[in-house]
Amino acid sequence: MSSTAHTLHVSLIATSDAQVTPFSGIFETLTAFELLSNFMPDLPKRPFRVEIVAPNTEPITAASGLPLGTHRSCRDIDETDIAIVPQMMVDGPDWERGRYPGLVEWLREMHGRGAMLCSACTGVLLLAETGLLDGGEATIHWAFAPTFRRNFPSVKLFTEEVLLITGRHNELVMTGGFTSWHDLVLHLIASHVNPRAAHAMARLMMLHWHGEGAAPYLTFSPRRDHGDAVVLQLQDWLDDHYTVANPVREMIERSGLSCRSFERRFAKATGLSPIAYVQALRIEEAKRWIENTDSPLEEISCEVGYENVAYFRRLFKRSTRLTPGQYRRKFRIPHTAKRMLR
């Protein structure tokens, strides 16, 4: 892909819910080409013109209390190439719809005029209010998945994906995760300048592609607010007995239900089949062992309930998209940090 032939207008949306670090990171990365061109003279110096856009011209204080400067109100912009909704603070974490009706309408109008719409992490909550994702797909950090699903039930959510590109013309770009703005800006640079520029910018700014997706970062947090007392009691039992030889059979016997009735009831309450639930518990415990100990994999496999180490390896990689060894290298608590925690 060749370098962009003209400067693209980027509208970076500022609200009182914006988080400053990803906001400034997006701005400073997309405007860092003059610095990068000192080392790579063949790259364009200004492929992006980034403008901070707000619902109105009033001063904005970000969620952290730091002030955000703005260039223009969205009402004064009739056309843009790329509109970005950066990460936003969500209380609870619960999203309340309807706080930024002017921005939502403006995003819809820009999309209708050919703009690419992007979001980083929780910014997708505002993007989803446009209705453009209805019947489609989205991604967000796993901690905010419940509020997204409550607010936008018609959108299929993939929390294990860091970068998701949808739309008829690939014009809807979303990233999920607190540092997923790295993936967003690098994608924009690769797509609109060239991949070589994206790699160079990543090296310059020490940005990180999350190529394995969000799966390694997900934490198993099972539903317990389902109102089924029998299933909840079994979940409590399973927390302490997930390593037994056949925990599903044990739960069926404890429930007093038939196998089919139990499996249907458990899945309805938790969103997972009994065996998938057990596997998730075991893998989550294995992750803690790998992060915090030097124990060999054979020992960890047995500790969490798997005598067949090869099967455990396959299951672990299917869940995290990393082998146990790769996971240990990525998430191992450094010895220096361990000494400080003693």
Instruction: Using the structure block, give the residue that is written with the tokens 């790295």.
Output: 182
Quote the tokens at residue 150. 């409550």
Q: In this predicted structure, what is the pLDDT of residue 170?
A: 92
Neighbours of 19 (CB within 10 A): 23
Long-range contacts for 129-132 (Cβ within 8 Å, ≥24 apart)?
129/97, 129/98, 129/100, 129/104, 130/104, 132/107, 132/108, 132/167, 132/172
Instruction: Specify the domain boundaries for CATH 3.40.50.880 within the chain.
Output: 8-214
Rg from Cα positions in the chain: 23
Give the span between the Cα atoms of 193 and 154, in whole angstroms.
Answer: 34
Q: In this predicted structure, what is the pLDDT of residue 258?
A: 95
**CA quadruple 142, 146, 150, 156: dihedral, nearest 10:** 40
Give the span between the Cα atoms of 10 and 272, in whole angstroms.
Answer: 41
Q: In this predicted structure, what is the pLDDT of residue 14?
A: 95
Q: In this predicted structure, what is the pLDDT of residue 1?
A: 36
Going 48 to 53 to 59 to 60, the CA torsion angle's sign is negative
Give the span between the Cα atoms of 25 and 84, in whole angstroms.
Answer: 12
pLDDT tens string 208-243? 888 776 677 778 889 898 999 999 999 999 999 999
**CA quadruple 283, 284, 290, 296: dihedral, nearest 10:** -30
pLDDT tens string 238-261? 999 999 999 999 999 999 999 999
Quote the tokens at residue 340. 């400080």
Instruction: Specify the domain boundaries for CATH 1.10.10.60 within the chain.
Output: 229-336
Rounded to a whole number, what is the largest CA-CA distance in the chain? 73
Q: Under CATH, what is the fold of the domain 8-214?
A: Rossmann fold (3.40.50)
Secondary structure of the chain in the HEC alphabet?
A: CCCCCCCEEEEEECCCCECHHHHHHHHHHHCCHHHHCCCCCCCCCCCEEEEEEECCCCCEECCCCCEECCCEEHHHCCCCCEEEECCECCCCCCCCCCCCHHHHHHHHHHHHCCCEEEEECCHHHHHHCCCCCCCCEECCCHHHHHHHHHHCCCCEECCCCCEEEECCCCCEEEECCCCCHHHHHHHHHHHHCCHHHHHHHHHHHCCCCCCCCCHHHCCCCCCCCCCCHHHHHHHHHHHHHCCCCCHHHHHHHHHCCCHHHHHHHHHHHHCCCHHHHHHHHHHHHHHHHHHHCCCCHHHHHHHCCCCCHHHHHHHHHHHHCCCHHHHHHHHCCCHHHHHHHC
Burial (0-12, 13-18, 19+ Cβ within 10 Å), 218? buried
For 229-336, CATH gives: 1.10.10.60
Which positions of the chain have pLDDT values less than 50?
1-3, 336-342
Q: In this predicted structure, what is the pLDDT of residue 215?
A: 72
Instruction: Using the structure block, give the residue that is written with the tokens 């509208």.
Output: 11
